[in-house]
Chains A and B, each alone.
Chain A
Amino acid sequence: MTRIFTGVGAVVVALFIYVGEVVVLAAETFASIFSQKIRWRIFMDQIVEIGLRSQLVVVITGAFTGAVFAAQTFFQFNKLGMGSAVGAVVSVAICRELGPVLTALMVTGRVGASMSAEIGTMKVTEQVDALRALAVHPVDYLVVPRALAMMLSMPLLVAECIGVGIAAGYLVAIGLLEINGTYYMANMVRWTQMRDIVMGLSKAFCFALLIVFISCHKGLTSREGAVGVGKATTEAVVDSSLAVLICNFFLTMALNIIFPAGYQ
């Protein structure tokens, strides 16, 4: 019995230490942003890597999510004679939940993985030590440009995902399901508020922080050898995805107080 308690205790302690380390990395990063020279050239490279190279993934995710969500909503709502309300449901759901969460999960898989693999490889091949030996702080050089690029790219990617999702939903609803386009649009515009979009973009910003700090932390603490880097990469993706999903719930509850849902 005591063994179970010590076992659970150890896991809880390890979790607290882990979260603490990630928070310390985040604090160091923000301290560095405000006090150290920022490497804009690496920032631009990261914008290309994160923002530009994620386009296809985000567009496809947005389009097919919007399309399938419009279809499913229609199948249910049509029975109630509420087909023209589909637009409102689709757009609010994509703005508030689907857009930010799905984009964050896709970016985790693409960008979080490559960040932890890249930094992890540098760590195990002594390149991080070489940086330090050359009087360059790894946080300044590796984490800050990535964090800034993520904070800028994620809201834009989410906005793009939302836009594409709504457009795809519209096309499916009007083109395939033959909902009246005018009513569809009118309902959508009436029920979708600025605050729904702001909520989505706020979430995007928070997810950006989760992904970048978890992935960079995994890379920087990666263990020796190719196995260590592989493990760090997998853990970065799993931990970031879980963090996104868990924090999304709390963000929804918290942000709903600031930006309440529904027509008022």
Chain B
Amino acid sequence: MLAVRGLTKSIGTQEILRGVDLDVPKGETLVIIGRSGGGKSVLLKHLVGLMQPDAGEIWIEGQNIIGLSERKLAAIRRKVGILFQGGALFDSMTVEENIAFPLREAGERDSKVIREQVNEMLEVIELEGQQKKMPVNLSGGMKKRVGLARSIIRRPSCILYDEPTAGLDPVVSDSINRLIRRLQERYHVTSVVVTHDMKSAFHIADHIAYLHEGRVYFHGTSAELERSGDTLIQDFLLGRSEGLP
């Protein structure tokens, strides 16, 4: 479904990705963990063609998306939804208009159909009755959930989540985790989840990849990760900073 080969990217003089290889089989959930500033958001943006790599390939459903024009990428982007780290809501639109945006853009004109689908989404993200609020009046976690609703309303076959639970309270975090699992179980969505939240990682992951210094340092199941004797990984899992230079 989704494969990354030898992806490298430098911004200015900073080498951010130095040859990333990843495979996500159809219907599976890959969790990417790694230190803050390690290039996880940059990697996700490459996967939907928002950034162009210096070298490497990205295969989505058998098509290499590198070098595709913005208009050709549109077809891919309809299949792959992305939740941005900050939600990236359109701040001139209400919650309802934000969530309905992909439907309207797809040519849906029937306001009753739109309203029904938006309400269904609001139920899923547990924000019923907030249709008319503007994004500036939402908390960080609410923005993220609205952003999530906006990216899943057209039922993409693959969803990329950038820190979906960061900054949320434990209860809402858990409901987001369960939502990710539910989308996977019910619609067989392929997911890539970037997170720092190890509890949530273990909860949703089929596989976990640890991104370190621009490469995939570890790739395996949750159990393999926990069993790993590697000090770097143990330090990350236990949140130790002693081993650092």
Contact = CB atoms under 8 A, between A and B. Distances in A.
Interface string A97-139: 0000000000000000000000001100111011011111100
Given A125-B86, A125-B91, A129-B84, A134 B70 contact: no
B74 interface: yes
Nearest to B101: A134
A134 B102 contact: yes
Contacts of A121: 91
Nearest to B76: A135
B77 A130 contact: no
A130 B90 CA distance: 8
B181 interface: no
A58 B27 CA distance: 59
Given A134-B101, A134-B105, A129 B88 contact: yes
A126 to B, nearest CB: 4
A126 B77 contact: no
Contacts of B75: 135
B91 A129 contact: no
Contact of B105 (A122, A125, A135): A135
B71 A137 contact: yes
Interface in B74-113: 74-75, 77-78, 81-82, 84, 86, 88-91, 101-102, 105
Contact of B88 (A127, A135, A137): A127
A49 to B, nearest CB: 12
Contacts of A130: 84, 88-90, 147
B50 A129 contact: yes
A121 B91 CA distance: 10
Contacts of A135: 73-75, 77-78, 105
A125 B88 contact: yes
Interface in B138-152: 147, 150-151
A129 B105 CA distance: 16
Nearest to B98: A130
Q: Lowest 5 CB-CB distances: which A-B pairs, in order?
A: A130-B88, A135-B74, A126-B88, A135-B77, A133-B82
Interface of B: 45, 48-50, 70-71, 73-75, 77-78, 81-82, 84, 86, 88-91, 101-102, 105, 147, 150-151
15 contacts: A122-B90, A125-B86, A125-B88, A126-B86, A126-B88, A127-B89, A130-B89, A132-B49, A132-B50, A133-B50, A133-B81, A134-B77, A134-B105, A135-B73, A137-B70
